């Protein structure tokens, strides 16, 4: 009888709180459709990992096994990037390479939040870097960096990264409106269709891998996986593998990644002041990234004859394609005949590259200052 009561006898308030947190994540996934493919597995993983004496965690627990096999080895984030690469169409960016600057500018929040986290005295330099990377709006990169620098905060960092990614339509518009005028939001941008030869499409992922890898060798795992997925897409002879990478591979790894992250959210590790600070600073990083992109665009307009719509800068974050759609929606509200979707998507794709490079730079530079 005592064996049957073990779970109840060991149940504490902290476990109940984690059940509620897991339930909230599941509610947001199902009812609000906020990143459901990840928040639902994370929420359920948090519940089953916090059941007292749960067989899902610890020696022989399947969540622990998945963590060791997929997170500790960095396998899951890399596989996710192969799928993401297979989904992305880089042609708009290739046609408008100027948009790469917006992908770089929108990473400002990463470094600003990193410095702020250090100034609190609560976090070490590696932990602060892991918190700052939330601002990249790139879940796999956040997980990758957190696993290396702050494995004890992997749960809250992952939850923050994916939660704020899903909240792009809510977070970005107020920031954009605060920093721009109605006149600026109505700026039209001429888009000229540029034919991108097939050879260029094929050479692009190879060239990006070589350039980024030589400049920042730490980026090879992520940028290499991303570009490999894209090469499968554009080569024209691996359509079946491209479809598999976009669907079966991405779906399977997403499920395993989500529930494994949920398994790291034990009450002892999650319920503390530092977790709340991480969630708050992650939001700040996201806001700063959006603001950095918009302000950079406004700065460029001081020198450009053909002005850019400052909202394009906000699309430089890595939340693809949500941020690009948000920018187009806002432009259409100001002027229903203004279409800047292609430019927004170009900046959005550039942001995907920018976030990977930024994460790799952090992985390479932080150890030098320790």
The answer to whether the CB of 47 falls within 8 A of the CB of 27 is no
- pLDDT value at position 72? 84
Q: Please give the Cα distance from 231 to 240 (Å, whole number).
A: 13
Of 90, 349, 99, the closest CA to residue 205 belongs to: 90
Q: Mapping DSSP to helix (H, G, I), strand (E, B) and coil, where does residue 186 land? A: coil
- pLDDT value at position 49? 93
H runs (alpha helix) in 50-197 = 62-66, 75-87, 91-95, 100-105, 108-119, 125-132, 139-149, 154-166, 168-179, 182-185
196: left (phi over 0), alpha (psi -120 to 50) or beta: beta
- pLDDT value at position 4? 61
The answer to whether the CB of 268 falls within 8 A of the CB of 52 is no
- pLDDT value at position 111? 84
- pLDDT digit string (tens) for the chain, length 370 residues: 556 667 777 888 999 999 999 999 999 889 988 778 888 999 999 999 999 988 999 888 999 999 999 888 889 889 998 998 999 888 878 887 888 888 887 788 888 888 888 988 889 999 999 998 887 777 788 888 888 898 888 888 888 887 777 778 888 899 999 999 889 899 888 777 778 889 999 999 999 999 888 887 877 888 899 999 999 999 989 999 999 999 999 999 999 988 998 888 888 888 888 888 888 888 888 888 888 889 999 999 888 888 889 998 888 887 777 788 888 889 989 888 888 888 888 888 888 888 888 888 888 888 877 6
- pLDDT value at position 3? 63
- pLDDT value at position 347? 86
- pLDDT value at position 159? 80
- pLDDT value at position 169? 82
124: left (phi over 0), alpha (psi -120 to 50) or beta: beta
- pLDDT value at position 259? 93
For the chain, what is the largest distance between any 2 Cα atoms, rounded to a whole number of angstroms?
A: 80
Long-range contacts, stretch 16-25, CB < 8 angstroms, 24+ apart:
17/267, 17/271, 18/46, 18/47, 18/50, 18/265, 18/266, 18/267, 18/270, 18/271, 19/47, 19/50, 21/46, 21/265, 21/270, 22/46, 22/47, 22/50, 22/262, 22/265, 23/47, 25/159
């Amino acid at each position: 009888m005592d064996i049957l009561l073990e779970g109840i006898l060991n149940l504490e308030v902290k476990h109940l709180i984690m059940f509620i947190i897991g339930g909230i994540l599941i509610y947001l996934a199902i009812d609000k459709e906020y990143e459901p493919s990840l928040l639902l597995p994370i929420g359920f993983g948090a519940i089953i990992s916090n059941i007292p004496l749960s067989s899902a965690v610890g020696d022989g627990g399947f969540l622990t096994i998945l963590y060791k096999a997929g997170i500790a080895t960095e396998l899951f984030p890399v596989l996710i990037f192969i799928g993401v690469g297979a989904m992305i169409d880089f042609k708009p960016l290739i046609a408008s390479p100027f948009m790469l600057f917006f992908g770089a500018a929108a990473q400002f929040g990463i470094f600003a939040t990193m410095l702020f986290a250090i100034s609190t005295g609560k976090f070490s330099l590696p932990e602060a870097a892991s918190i700052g990377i939330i601002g990249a709006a790139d879940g796999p990169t956040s997980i990758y960096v957190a696993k290396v620098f702050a494995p004890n905060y992997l749960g809250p960092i992952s939850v923050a990264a994916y939660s704020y990614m899903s909240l792009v339509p809510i977070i970005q518009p107020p920031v954009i409106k605060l920093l721009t005028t109605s006149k600026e939001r109505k700026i039209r941008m001429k888009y000229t269709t540029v034919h991108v030869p097939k050879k260029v499409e094929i050479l692009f992922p190879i060239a990006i891998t070589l350039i980024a890898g030589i400049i920042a060798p730490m980026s090879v795992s992520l940028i290499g996986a991303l570009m490999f997925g894209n090469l499968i897409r554009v080569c024209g002879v691996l359509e079946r593998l491209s479809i598999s990478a976009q669907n079966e591979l991405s779906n399977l790894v997403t499920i395993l990644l989500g529930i494994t992250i949920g398994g790291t959210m034990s009450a002892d590790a999650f319920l503390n002041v530092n977790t709340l600070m991480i969630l708050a600073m992650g939001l700040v990083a996201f806001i700063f990234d959006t603001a950095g992109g918009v302000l950079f665009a406004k700065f460029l307009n001081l020198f450009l004859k053909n002005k850019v719509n400052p909202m394009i800068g906000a699309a430089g974050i890595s939340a693809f394609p949500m941020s690009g759609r948000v920018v187009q929606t806002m432009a259409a509200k100001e002027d229903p005949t203004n279409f800047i979707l292609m430019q927004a998507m170009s900046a959005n794709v550039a942001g995907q590259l920018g976030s990977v490079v930024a994460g790799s730079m952090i992985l390479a530079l932080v150890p030098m200052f320790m």
